């Protein structure tokens, strides 16, 4: 079986997709204790190292290295500050890449990385990976909805193949939605049959003015808006009343009726996880954060399966 090492693994979204693509994940790493506990529940065969990656110097040899390093300084949903140290974790990925020397690597990040004021950091990543001995493809934006995920979620991918193999990676073409050959997956497709008001499983604080500064609701037969790690900003479940725009940054419910955000279990389904995915004991905030930071498994599977037969 093909082997992989995963760093900045989170609760295992990318790795769940990697496993579906036929890879044996030898080692996974993340700094979040909750994410590591959830990972172990779902993929117990993988060695999970829970620590700061900078503290780790030995790694198993593997065919593939993957990493989805944090980047809150570039995220639309975070504090957009490109000077934060967390935005330079790609240097740790580069360090591990040079230790393992896999035949290929895959990196995933938020689409905000492509904004003009951040582009120098993105360019620096590509330069480093080339200097490490790889033919680099990307950065390329892919929308998870176009690969069978019931959510519009745009993410940046960078893929590299060892230079001595002389092959450049080609990104997969959309399989779902208007640009694919299959119908896009909707909220109804994955949420049907789930309880309407799952007590204790959703964030039930008031909808503050910032939350109502945009349309947070999609209909049943549409994909969800992007699932976020901050539960305060989680999109509305389609049982909620529609939102009507009154003014710039001013949306209001069309009529008085109960409304709620997605539960953490619904958020996981909208990220492309299966109903059998397990969550470790922890707070509601921890669960939402782990899910919102994850890579949709079907999207990562598609990117992985597009790798040429270099093994």
List the catalytic residues.
71
Residues in Cβ contact with 248 at an 8 Å cutoff, skipping those fewer than 6 apart: none
In the three-class reduction of DSSP (H, G, I as helix; E, B as strand; rest coil), residue 15 is classed as helix
> Strands 250-253 and 47-50, how do they pair?
unpaired
User: Strands of 154-162's sheet, edge to edge?
Assistant: 47-50, 23-30, 2-7, 64-67, 104-110, 154-162, 134-143
Q: Can you list the alpha helix ranges (DSSP code H) found in 220-309? A: 264-270, 284-292, 297-305
- Between CA 90 and CA 131 the distance in angstroms is 14
What's the chain's Rg over C-alpha atoms? Answer: 19
Q: From 288, 191, 184, 178, select the one nearest 233 (Cα to Cα).
A: 288
Q: Are 130 and 98 in contact (CB under 8 A)?
A: no
């Amino acid at each position: 079986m093909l082997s992989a090492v995963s760093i900045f693994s989170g609760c295992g979204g990318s790795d769940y997709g990697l496993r579906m693509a036929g890879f044996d994940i030898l080692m996974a790493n993340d700094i979040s204790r909750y994410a590591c506990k959830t990972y172990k529940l779902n993929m117990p065969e993988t060695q999970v190292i829970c620590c700061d990656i900078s503290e780790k110097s030995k790694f198993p040899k593997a065919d593939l290295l993957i990493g989805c390093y944090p980047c809150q300084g570039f995220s639309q949903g975070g504090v957009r500050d490109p000077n934060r140290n967390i935005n330079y974790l790609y240097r740790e990925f580069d360090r591990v890449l040079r230790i393992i020397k896999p035949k290929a690597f895959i990196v995933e990040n938020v689409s905000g990385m492509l904004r003009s004021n951040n582009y120098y950091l993105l360019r620096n990543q590509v330069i480093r990976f080339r200097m490490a001995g790889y033919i680099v493809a990307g950065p390329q934006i892919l929308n998870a909805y176009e690969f069978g995920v019931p959510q519009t979620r745009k993410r940046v991918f960078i893929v590299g193949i060892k230079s001595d193999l002389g092959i450049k990676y080609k990104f997969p073409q959309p399989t779902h939605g208007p640009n694919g050959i299959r119908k896009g997956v909707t909220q109804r497709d994955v949420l049907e049959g789930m309880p309407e008001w799952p007590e204790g499983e959703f964030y039930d604080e008031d909808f503050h003015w910032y939350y109502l500064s945009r349309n947070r609701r999609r209909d049943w037969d549409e994909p969800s808006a992007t699932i976020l790690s901050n539960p305060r900003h989680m999109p509305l479940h389609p049982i909620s009343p529609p939102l009507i725009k009154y003014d710039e940054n001013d949306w209001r419910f069309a009529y008085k009726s109960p409304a709620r955000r997605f539960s953490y279990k619904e958020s996981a389904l909208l990220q492309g996880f299966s109903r059998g995915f397990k969550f470790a004991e922890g707070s509601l905030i921890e669960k939402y954060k782990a899910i919102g930071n994850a890579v949709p498994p079907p999207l990562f599977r598609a990117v992985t399966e597009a790798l040429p037969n270099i093994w």
